[in-house]
Amino acid sequence: MDDRLKQLLVLGREHYDRREYDLAEHALRQILEKTDRFADVFNMLGVILHERGDFLGAELSFERAVQLNEHYTEALLNLAVTYNDLGKYEAARQVYSRIRRGEGTGGVVDPFARGKIANMHAALAQAYADAGCAQEAIDELKRAVALCPTFADLQLRLGTMYRDAGNLALAREHYTAARDANPKFAPARVLLGVVLLALGAADQAIAEWREALAIDPDNKMAKMYLRMVEAQRNGRPRDGAPPEAPAPPVARSAHWDVLDDVTPTEVSDLLATTIADAAGDADRAEREGRS
């Protein structure tokens, strides 16, 4: 390698690391005029193009990087992300398989790589959910959670998918995992409380909602659910017999009518927005915690 090429490589990497992408691209393209044998040059150029929204150009660059080094994990991850952005979900799945192929001999051990792959599984799950393919969405979220079981937002999303499918036992399991992964994550406690109430565990539900309010005193859902349960208990018969337990709601499509009957003017709207609000909080936590 001649001195000029070495200088361009050093210069290009320095600008790239400082996110001075225009300057980095200028150096990288000068390198490509001399040789096209450096996989990291194509990977850096692909990141720059992807950052600008040129997904087709990024795709070609990442593919070339992977051709030059088939074990280049970062380039494989970037290629999978780009395939997802282009709607090439099957191609992205195949790249995931390539990345995970070595699991029997150590697998994806780098935490950054695991997190990035898990988030791509979550993105693919959302695409399946948007297309009405609930089971496929659950399968992708299960893969994401298997890679990163301590990501509270992923556990929350999987719990919600199971709840909407009517599997309250698994919803409880994953909401509990979300709470345990991040005890200060109020949305996990709120949704866990809803499922606990549906399963007949009112005292446990109350405990979760009270803890959610200790974390987030302005949490509207937790306040409303506590008020609902208190109203129910205040209506207990004078002989002290406990009120009949409400039938557990099965899925969002059932509209959770048993709760609507208790506070018809407010609870219905709040329940309809619980998952959306929790997902928004989860997305914010993800952006803040993994940026």
pLDDT in tens, 67-76: 998 877 778 8
Q: What is the pLDDT of residue 53?
A: 92
Residues of the chain with pLDDT under 50: 102-107, 237-276, 285-291
How far apart, in whole angstroms, are the C-alpha atoms of residue 157 and residue 128? 13
Which of the 8 DSSP states describes residue 243?
A: P
How far apart, in whole angstroms, are the C-alpha atoms of residue 177 and residue 181? 6
Q: What is the pLDDT of residue 17?
A: 87
Do 191 and 176 contact (CB within 8 A), yes or no?
A: no
Q: What is the pLDDT of residue 266?
A: 40
Length of the chain as a residue count: 291
Q: What is the pLDDT of residue 281?
A: 53
